[in-house]
């Protein structure tokens, strides 16, 4: 295969920021998924696809990471480009330089920025002042790259997303928020099951509910994990205390008793349900070792798909 025969990129994506799946139409989300699957096949066959030859991605991290850093860095290499790791300890952003100054300076050095940080408002400001695409690698509010990989994994296993029931059990956090946004556009029935005190942001629930109605899906909030899991096609969970919430770990461990994906939850779900987890997993807390290592776990295919989904994003917007 020559470069001219590689999958075509959508020219309307060039230069766009990737801050949330809510910013993209259903067709655009499935464009990313389809491209990601094609890039995955090319990589499996060791067919070069240097869409970003000579280009550089600046990667800003104020939160540590395994999958985000490795997948973006390897992805840029496979696309023919380079990635620069920029921790808050290494750049002036960590010493008080305004975000808008960092955005304008990096725009003159690199071709795209990926940022993994705490406040979503920081990512929005970075995108506002940057002249190059900004990709949200995670904030406390949203995690779009992860959910794009999740939807890709669901398509691989189920062949579709429309009409499927996806139940998320745990904290109403960034994963719950983005799963609602992504699942709504994908026509899924999304159930978010949390303790009452840990429900997702009401405004995100409202927006996602409107999106879901427009695409034949639904958003439901519940607090009974077994009832929420009934006939689910996809079961999803995340850690109970995310990065920055370590001081609440003991309190959360008590609040989330009974919110573990275990054998009881698996029996309630559809017999062919798949299990997803964005990782890292605290086995014995939000999920049992038997489930994550079991035959219905798609967790490590899901983790691999971070690489391919993000390559689709980078190739398209950069």
The predicted-structure confidence for 80-96, as pLDDT tens digits, reads as follows 999 999 998 888 776 78
Q: Is 257 annotated as a binding residue?
A: no
Q: Is 277 annotated as a binding residue?
A: no
Please confirm, yes or no, whether 95 is among the known catalytic residues.
no
Question: What is the pLDDT of the chain when averaged over all its residues?
Answer: 96
Tokens representing residue 236 in the block: 């999803």
Q: Is 296 annotated as a binding residue?
A: no
Q: Is 297 annotated as a binding residue?
A: no
Closest by Cα among 68, 32, 72, 66 to 52: 72
Tell me if the bond preceding 280 is cis, omega within 30° of 0: yes
Query: Catalytic residue among 17, 233, 252, 278, which?
Result: 278
Three-class SS state of 290? helix
* Partners of 274 in the β-ladder: 234
- Specify whether the CB–CB gap between 78 and 43 falls below 8 A: yes
Q: Is 193 annotated as a binding residue?
A: no
Q: Is 104 annotated as a binding residue?
A: no
pLDDT the model gives residue 4: 60
User: Where do the CATH 3.40.50.1370 domains begin and end in the chain?
Assistant: 11-142+306-317, 146-303
Please confirm, yes or no, whether 306 is among the known catalytic residues.
yes
Q: Is 43 annotated as a binding residue?
A: no
With a pLDDT cut of 90, the percent of the chain lying above it is: 91
Q: Is 271 annotated as a binding residue?
A: no
CA 316 – CA 318 distance, rounded (Å)? 6
Q: Which stretches within 270-298 are classed as H helix?
A: 289-292
Query: Catalytic residue among 177, 215, 252, 306, which?
Result: 306
Query: Catalytic residue among 238, 252, 308, 310, which?
Result: 238
Three-class SS state of 138? strand
pTM: 0.96
Query: Catalytic residue among 37, 49, 143, 177, which?
Result: 143
Tokens representing residue 95 in the block: 């010493």
pLDDT the model gives residue 90: 81
Tokens representing residue 17 in the block: 């920021």
Q: Specify the higher pLDDT residue, 67 or 243.
A: 67
pLDDT tens for residues 182-224?
A: 999 999 999 999 999 999 999 999 999 999 999 999 999 999 9
Confidence band of 1 (pLDDT split at 50, 70, 90): low
Q: Which CATH architecture has domain 11-142+306-317?
A: 3-Layer(aba) Sandwich (3.40)
Q: Is 82 annotated as a binding residue?
A: no
CA 302 – CA 166 distance, rounded (Å)? 15
Closest by Cα among 40, 31, 41 to 8: 31
Query: Catalytic residue among 116, 177, 277, 308, which?
Result: 116
pLDDT(246) > 90: no
Closest by Cα among 191, 171, 165 to 255: 171
pLDDT the model gives residue 96: 84
Residue 83 DSSP one-character state: E
Closest by Cα among 2, 44, 12 to 307: 44
Please confirm, yes or no, whether 146 is among the known catalytic residues.
yes
Q: Which CATH architecture has domain 146-303?
A: 3-Layer(aba) Sandwich (3.40)
> Residues 266, 216, 210, 16: is their CA dihedral positive or negative?
positive
Please confirm, yes or no, whether 177 is among the known catalytic residues.
no
Query: Catalytic residue among 146, 171, 211, 252, which?
Result: 146
Please confirm, yes or no, whether 22 is among the known catalytic residues.
no
């Amino acid at each position: 295969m020559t470069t001219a025969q590689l999958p075509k990129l959508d020219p309307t994506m060039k230069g766009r920021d990737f801050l949330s799946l809510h910013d993209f139409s259903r067709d655009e989300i499935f464009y990313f998924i389809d491209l990601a699957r094609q890039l995955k096949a090319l990589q499996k066959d060791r067919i070069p696809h240097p869409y970003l030859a000579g280009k550089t991605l600046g990667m800003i991290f104020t939160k540590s990471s395994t999958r985000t850093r490795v997948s973006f860095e390897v992805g840029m290499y496979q696309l023919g480009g380079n990635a620069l790791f920029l921790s808050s300890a290494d750049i002036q952003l960590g010493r008080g330089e305004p975000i808008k100054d960092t955005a304008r300076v990096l725009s003159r050095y690199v071709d795209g920025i990926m940022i993994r940080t705490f406040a979503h408002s920081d990512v929005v400001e970075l995108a506002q002042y940057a002249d190059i695409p900004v990709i949200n690698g995670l904030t406390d509010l949203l995690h779009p790259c992860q959910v794009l990989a999740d939807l890709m994994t669901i398509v691989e296993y189920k062949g579709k997303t429309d009409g499927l029931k996806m139940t998320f059990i745990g904290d109403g956090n960034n994963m719950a928020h983005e799963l609602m946004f992504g699942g709504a556009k994908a026509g899924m029935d999304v159930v978010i099951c949390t303790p009452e005190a840990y429900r997702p942001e009401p405004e995100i629930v409202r927006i996602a509910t409107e999106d879901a109605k427009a695409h034949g899906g639904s958003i439901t909030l519940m607090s009974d994990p077994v009832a929420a899991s009934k006939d689910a096609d996809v079961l999803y969970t995340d850690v109970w205390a995310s990065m920055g919430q370590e001081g609440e770990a003991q309190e959360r461990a008590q609040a989330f008793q009974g919110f573990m994906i275990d054998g009881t939850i698996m029996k309630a779900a559809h017999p062919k349900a798949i299990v997803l987890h964005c990782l890292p997993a605290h086995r014995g807390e939000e999920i049992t070792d038997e489930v994550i290592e079991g035959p219905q776990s798609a967790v490590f295919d899901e983790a691999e798909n971070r690489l391919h989904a993000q390559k689709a994003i980078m190739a398209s917007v950069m």
